Amino acid sequence: MTILYVVLGTIFGFVLSRSGAADYDQIQSMFLFRSFQLYGILGTAVVLTAAGLRIIKQRGRTALGRPLKIELKLLHRGNVAGGLLFGVGWSMAGMCPGPILVNIGEGKIYALAALAGALAGAALLGAVYPRLQKPFKLPPIG
Amino acid sequence: MPLILHGLPPIHWALAGAGIAAVTLTLLFVANRRLGISTSFEDLCSFALAAPYFQRPAVISGRPWRLPFAAGLVAGGFLSAVLGGGWSPTWALGMFDRVVALGPAGKLTWMFTGGLFIGFGTRLAGGCTSGHGVFGMSNFEWPSFLTTASFMAAGIVTTQLVYRVVFG
């Protein structure tokens, strides 16, 4: 299975690289409403994935016959607060998490700083998580 | 508008969206995995940090698929550069170079700061553009619509501030 994950990641990374989803200028153009490209990508991805999910969920089993297991996202105050913070970072770096890795692969030197920042940010969240649990109604660690 | 990478023309958005959907659906249908990329930041943290947050089962059990997938993302970018005109390290950053125009040290500081917001924000929100934006919205999950609306709004405001107000 490891090979499958590497191959799927490679295809995903190639598409992000060549579509503009990992391109600083394309991200800014989306947020400046100067280009439809990224809205078109996300919209198409969501519509087609929703259609595919319907079919897979009706079947209820994976290709290998295992019962389908989809862990749902939890609703809490971190959705909005974290989403807002992430949006600031997405605009600044011109990359969301996947494209940080794609840009590193492309040879963009500054993307290494974005990755270092993202790891530091995740480490910080992990360190303060117990203190944020109550005010943000976050799920227990487990 | 060409890409920063070798000035290549971007592929059509419908084709790109179909590619993303195909990978997302294959991950689920073949491997029973829900697409999500920002958790790989926690995977990497879990090798160095002993806090219970990073050693929880959801992180440790997902590492064997998320880390190869993340490595694939790097390989995909590398392959794209090689096939698109050759791989070479670059500082090129398009309109940031023309408008904000910071040198290498400033650029690294800017990117590190952006990364901090990304790492902290995505993990507080429980996901990013992939787990919430693509999978969550496709699966009609309410927290994903909320999160996506939030990061889109903040991205729009931040870019408008940077390119139309501060450096406009």
Chain B residues close to A111, C-beta within 8 Å: 111
What is the mean pLDDT of the segment spanning B80-93?
Answer: 98
In this complex, the residue of A7, A126, A129 whose CB is nearest that of residue B72 is A7
B5: DSSP letter: T
pLDDT in tens, A71-127: 999 999 999 999 999 999 999 999 999 999 999 999 999 999 999 999 999 999 999
Q: Do residues A91 and B115 lie in contact, with contact meaning Cβ atoms separated by under 8 Å?
A: no
pLDDT in tens, A22-36: 999 999 999 999 999
Q: How confident is the model at residue B21 (pLDDT cuts 50, 70, 90)?
A: very high
Q: Which of B84, B41, B83, B78 is nearest to B63 (CA)?
A: B41
d(CA B12, CA B74): 22
For residue A64, pLDDT over 90 is answered with yes
Provide the shortest C-alpha distance from residue B93 to chain A (in Å): 7
What is the mean pLDDT of the segment spanning A11-32?
Answer: 98
For residue B67, pLDDT over 90 is answered with yes
Decide if the complex's ipTM is over 0.85. yes
Q: What is the DSSP string of chain A?
A: -HHHHHHHHHHHHHHHHHHTTT-HHHHHHHHTT--SHHHHHHHHHHHHHHHHHHHHHHH-B-TTSPBP--PPPPPSTHHHHHHHHHHHHHHHHS--HHHHHHHHHHTBTHHHHHHHHHHHHHHHHHHHHHHHHHHHTPPPP-
**pTM, to two decimals:** 0.97
CA distances to A54, B42, B46 from A119, rounded to whole Å, are 35, 8, 11
Q: Which of A74, A48, A72, A62 is nearest to A140 (CA)?
A: A74
The backbone region for B12, taken as left when phi is positive above 0, alpha when psi lies in -120 to 50, beta otherwise, is beta
Chain B residues close to A64, C-beta within 8 Å: 30
Q: Do residues B90 and A104 lie in contact, with contact meaning Cβ atoms separated by under 8 Å?
A: no
Provide the shortest C-alpha distance from residue B125 to chain A (in Å): 4
d(CA A53, CA A116): 34
pLDDT in tens, B128-165: 999 999 999 999 999 999 999 999 999 999 999 999 99
Q: Do residues A96 and B93 lie in contact, with contact meaning Cβ atoms separated by under 8 Å?
A: no
Q: What is the pLDDT of residue A142?
A: 76
What is the mean pLDDT of the segment spanning B1-23?
Answer: 98
User: What is the average pLDDT score of chain B?
Assistant: 97
Cβ-Cβ contacts under 8 Å between A and B: the total is 495
Q: Do residues A41 and B20 lie in contact, with contact meaning Cβ atoms separated by under 8 Å?
A: yes
d(CA A41, CA B16): 6
> Which chain B residues in 26-65 lie under 8 Å from chain A, judged by CB atoms?
26-32, 34, 37-38, 40-42, 44-45, 49, 51-54, 56-58, 64-65
Q: What is the pLDDT of residue B10?
A: 98
Contact B30 A11 (CB under 8 A): no
- Is B35 strand, coil or helix? coil
For residue B55, pLDDT over 90 is answered with yes
d(CA B126, CA B107): 28
Q: What percent of chain B has pLDDT over 70?
A: 100
Please provide residue B69's backbone torsions phi and psi, each rounded to the nearest 5 degrees.
-65, -45
Q: What is the pLDDT of residue B168?
A: 82
> Which chain A residues in 44-83 lie under 8 Å from chain B, judged by CB atoms?
44-50, 52-53, 56, 62-64, 66, 68-76, 78-83
